[in-house]
Amino acid sequence: MESRKLALEEASGATIELTKVCVRDLTRERDWTPPPGCVLTDDRSEIVGNPDIDLVVEVAGGVTDAKEVVMGAIKAGQDVVTANKALIAAFMPEIEAALEDSDSQFGFEAAVMGGIPIIQAMQNDFVGDRIIRMQGIMNGCTNFMLTKMAATGCSYEDILGEAQELGYAEADPSLDVGGQDARSKLKILIKLAFGLPIEEDAISCHGITKITSTDFDYAKDMQGTIKLLGVAEIGNEDTKLSAYVCPAFVPSSATLANIGGATNALEIVSENLGSSLLVGQGAGRFPTANSCINDIVSCAAKTCRGKSGLTRPGACPDLTFDTDYEAGFYMRCNYKDGIGITRELGEVCEANGVSIFSMLQLPGVDAFVVITDKVKKSQMQAVVKSLATKDWVRDEPFMMPVVSEDQ
């Protein structure tokens, strides 16, 4: 920020000075030096509520302490910039209520997919449009892992170790590989795009831990790959919104199939613009810092939004949330030799109203794959639960939605 100080001040029309930085440990060595006039402290009360400080930037992470910082600053009338998606997802109604009673501006571009300007695009570029569907790769760690698994045929466990060595995955990677990190981002985007406040736990969420090299063999045979996607879309009835985070089969012809490594991407489908794609670095210190700095400039220029920033103008408040989304599904079933397997499979699918589109069996693989026509998630779950009780099934079948060619 200091290296771009003159440009930032010219863009904002204001003087921007970094005066205090609150850290947890003052004795820790750091790879940066505070600029002249900036003081390090371990007491956040020197910043939050300080009448000489106009804006507070929260990038500490966590929820409890961060909530006290953000809420305290808003109540004191200070502008706030945060990169904390977990905080916003967990306490969005409280943050909105505090902003309602305050003149504070609230910038959170860095909270969703790092350096990609998704929040700005949602707030400003779709005002005259109606968003119908969003789908995206919202977690760099899992995209790196799935890209490597597809390219090398290595197991989930081997690639997780590599991701941890390279710094893409934390020592405890559960929030990334379990899908919860992507779900927090999706909840924020749903509120912003559709104006619909929903509980985070209501969004169906499945991670990548059950994906095997066999799944990638079948995906390749089907001319596609596997991505962890966050999806939200208005259904055919035009009154219901469904959303989920889970692995999905993506055909090679789809743009998202070709987003590799730790890159993030969000595809927005709207009535006027059709398909729009935002791609970039979704995490890391510099992409995150870039988004924070842009929000600081917006606040200094008095163009950053307060409460209204959490819901896009022209959103769809009359929508209801449907937890039982509809899709075509991929189901892998690890089996033991037996008689009447195909017959029993057909009976279970028929009993649950599931129509089989195709059935695949690779040579030398003790697992077959079923692709279904579009059905409700609950119907597929019933099929999986029933098949898991069969003597010829080794373990619970694995299922994931199939992204169609026209999505």
Active site residues: 185
For the residues of 82-136, what is the DSSP string, one character each? E--HHHHHHHHHHHHHHHHT----EE-GGGTTTTS-HHHHHHHTSTTS-EEEEEE
Element (H, E) at 240: strand 240-251
Strand blocks (E) in 130-223: 131-137, 204-205
Residue corresponding to tokens 């959170």:
108
Residue corresponding to tokens 């009835």:
237
Q: 88, 185 in Cβ contact below 8 A? A: no
CA distance 197 to 374: 27
CA distance 21 to 293: 15
Nearest to 353 by CA among 324, 333, 312: 324
CA distance 44 to 54: 14
Burial of 275 (0-12, 13-18, 19+ CB in 10 A): exposed
3-state secondary structure of 81: strand
Joined tokens for residue 155: 């197991």
Q: 44, 22 in Cβ contact below 8 A? A: yes
Task: Provide Rg for the chain, Cα atoms.
Answer: 23
CA distance 135 to 125: 17
Element (H, E) at 333: strand 326-334
Element (H, E) at 327: strand 326-334
Give the ranges where 5-107 is alpha helix by DSSP (H).
5-12, 64-75, 85-100
